[in-house]
Amino acid sequence: MALNGNSTNSVTVDAPGQTANDGTGIVELDGYLDPFKDALRSRYSKTQQWLKKIDEAEGGLEKFTRGYELFGFHVQDNGDVLYREWAPNALRAYLIGDFNNWDRDATPMEKNEFGVFEVTVPGKGGQPTIPHDSKLKVSFVVPNDQARQERIPAWITRVTQDINVSPVYDARFWNPPKEAKYVFKNKRPPKPVSARIYEAHVGIASPEQKVATYKEFTQNILPRIKNLGYNVIQLMAIMEHAYYASFGYQINSFFAASSRYGLPDELKELIDTAHGMGITVLLDVVHSHASKNVLDGLNMFDNSDHLYFHEGAKGRHELWDSRLFNYASHEVLRFLLSNLRFWMEEYNFDGFRFDGVTSMLYKHHGIGTGFSGGYHEYFGPGVDEEGVVYLMLANEMLHRLYPDCITIAEDVSGMPGLCVNLSLGGIGFDYRLAMAVPDLYIKWLKEKEDIDWDMGSLVFTLTNRRHGEKTIAYAESHDQALVGDKTLLFWLCDAEMYTNMSIISEETPVISRGLALHKLIRLITHGLGGEGYLNFIGNEFGHPEWLDFPREGNGNSFQYARRQFNLVDDPLLRYKFLNDFDSKMQWTEEKYGWLHSPQAYISLKNESDKVIVFERAGLLWIFNFHPSNSFTDYRVGVEQEGTYRIVVSTDSKDFGGHGHVDESTRFFTTPFAWNDRKNFVQVYIPARTAIVLAIESTL
């Protein structure tokens, strides 16, 4: 069978025989990997060594990854509170807080031979003497000058910030009474066969200029997501981050759900409610780096440079100004793998989108590096094998313990085997993000006239993915919406979005083009681009402007840190058309399932006509990207004979089109070979229009 590499290469291999069990089984899927067998064996062998070591020293992955039950705060049945913390460089440690009037010497901790400090705070009358939600810290005596330093406990599950008092976070002893604790009502939904992902940020999920809440998201946004037809939500900026404008990417407390949006139980209610709607919920997890904050982060936790991170320059990300984990450390593995387990167990998340995977895979972190697709780039000295092995362990643990878990990798490099099982020598993700697709659209909108759009290049970019490794396609994500860039519709329409989006005013050429291309871009990305689809919150209706969080540079304004759902809810504005079209795409995919169908057969890429035709999931997809030419009786090849009807038309007046396509038309195949297909149909396809046809009997 022919199998595609990351570049334009393809290779034919014989039917697999006995698969190697040394991490080189993947070579049978892609013969171009044969020269790199040693590197494949090495990373696989190191992963197996870790699994063996964890089995022998910790009683297995299941036990090892429950570190949150060992470290941090735990209330015993008699009301005693047990607290443990790993800080080998500290000489002495004390627990301080509201409960002991911040007396630095009142509650000393014992240190064992592994550098773990422990203390039991006796309860009283069966109740903890540490009050629920009270503040506390760990106070260390450190070497050299024997100085004291206070830190936020590393495994703390709730931290809060009073920005009016100080930007530094406070740790909280989160121990609500049993009767007040949230109890999940709904089971996790089954793993979706087609992943239609709604990427969302709770804080911006309101038209109001404020930080929105978990409760508001549950009440106002979940019903929208369900009605649109998305079956997966990817929640960003949940792990507590020191700086709101970091978009959630400077984590300081890995086990704490951001208190900006509300209480921990309100996040649980959000996830539980989504599950009740049949929606899978993923966490955007950041294990690629950590905030360099000292007072309320992991940096210099026990006054050493190298507790959780690499020492010196190796432990610093020069571009992100953050700290880099030491993935070869036993205790760091416990911390990070347990972190994944914690979010699965405590909050009932269904999986993760791993941020910054490229930074984890390479010693250069992708900085100043372009990836040509040459395989030497994926296995040479630039690869960080420790990071690769950590990701292999993380995926193995998650999929072993949670068979329906979904993991997605954000990797720009195209690392082979990223979405292949560990048993074959792969890294084990379920999906990778098609990061080249949105880059193409933005580049063309900035640099090319519509008539110069290259149909072959568009098709290549949408289909250039590794065989057997599932890809999430998207036209734009949060990356394309950030300040300095613009949403696709803003690139298309710009200032006219403020003046000409009303249906009361006449449609201008700019708005007509913008609406048409917004739909075409999304539809072809959905149909051709991958085995999953992603949309960023608000972009389904063509959200205007960019995304910019309150910061000093903009006068701490919330003007662009919100989603203006009022625009789509206004029946007099054209945003509703794009929203309704987006919903049409999702629900049509739910019916026909093209995302979990084999890749499309592309029968036509006509550069002069700007027409693309392909078949997928039994549907016939016809796109005319020409800015001015419409085609009557345009002959289109199709393999399956029969009578076809339109199931999606971007020209429908319901979606802001012009209604030139008669959607009641029945298309009859003619048994005459055309474009290497056994039959053809003839269609009317106006300029900047797409239609999707289905066999009449499936309607």
pLDDT tens sequence across 21-57: 999 999 999 999 999 999 999 999 999 999 999 999 9
CA distances from 111 to 87, 140, 203, 382, 502 (A): 9, 12, 41, 39, 68
Q: Which residues contact 319 (CB under 8 A, 6 or more apart)?
A: 365, 367
CA distance 646 to 667: 9
pTM score over 0.75: yes
Residue whose C-alpha is closest to residue 48's, from 22, 29, 27: 22
Residue ranges of domains in the chain = 75-180
Residue whose C-alpha is closest to residue 698's, from 642, 633, 637, 626: 642
Give 14's DSSP letter.
P
The Cβ of residue 549 has, within 10 Å, a number of other Cβ atoms equal to 22
- Name the residue type at position 476: E
Beta bridge partners of 407: 352
Which phi and psi (to 5°) does residue 251 adopt? -75, 135
Active-site residue, selected from the candidate residues 28, 272, 355, 384: 355
Residue 12 confidence (pLDDT) above 60: no
If you average pLDDT over residues 204-219, what whole number do you get? 97
Strands 135-141 and 92-97: antiparallel
Residue 462 confidence (pLDDT) above 90: yes
Asked whether the beta carbons of 206 and 216 are under 8 A apart, the reply is: yes
What percent of the chain shows pLDDT beyond 70? 97
Asked whether the beta carbons of 237 and 211 are under 8 A apart, the reply is: no
Which pLDDT value is given to residue 440?
A: 95
Query: Could you identify the residue written with the tokens 């089954």?
Result: 190
Q: Which residues contact 179 (CB under 8 A, 6 or more apart)?
A: none
Give 517's DSSP letter.
H
Which pLDDT value is given to residue 300?
A: 96
Q: How many residues are given for the chain? A: 699
Which pLDDT value is given to residue 591?
A: 98
- Residue-wise pLDDT for 486-505, tens only, equals 889 999 999 899 999 999 99
Angle 495-691-599 from CA coordinates, rounded to 5°: 105
Residue 3 confidence (pLDDT) above 90: no
- Residue-wise pLDDT for 515-539, tens only, equals 999 999 999 999 999 999 999 999 9
355 given a catalytic annotation: yes
Whole-number mean pLDDT of the chain?
94
Q: Which fold has domain 75-180?
A: Immunoglobulin-like (2.60.40)
Active-site residue, selected from the candidate residues 265, 284, 302, 410: 410
End-to-end CA distance of the chain: 34
Residue whose C-alpha is closest to residue 480's, from 560, 566, 539: 539
- Residue-wise pLDDT for 577-621, tens only, equals 999 999 999 999 999 999 999 999 999 999 999 999 999 999 999
Angle 324-141-311 from CA coordinates, rounded to 5°: 20
DSSP string, 187-256: PPPPPPSSEEEEEEEGGG-SSSSS---HHHIIIIIHHHHHHHT--EEEEES-EEES-GGGTT-SEEEEEE
The encoded tokens of residue 257 equal: 């759900």
CA distance 103 to 51: 43
Q: What is the largest CA-CA distance in the chain?
A: 90
Asked whether the beta carbons of 287 and 339 are under 8 A apart, the reply is: yes
- Residue-wise pLDDT for 133-149, tens only, equals 999 999 999 997 788 99
570 given a catalytic annotation: no
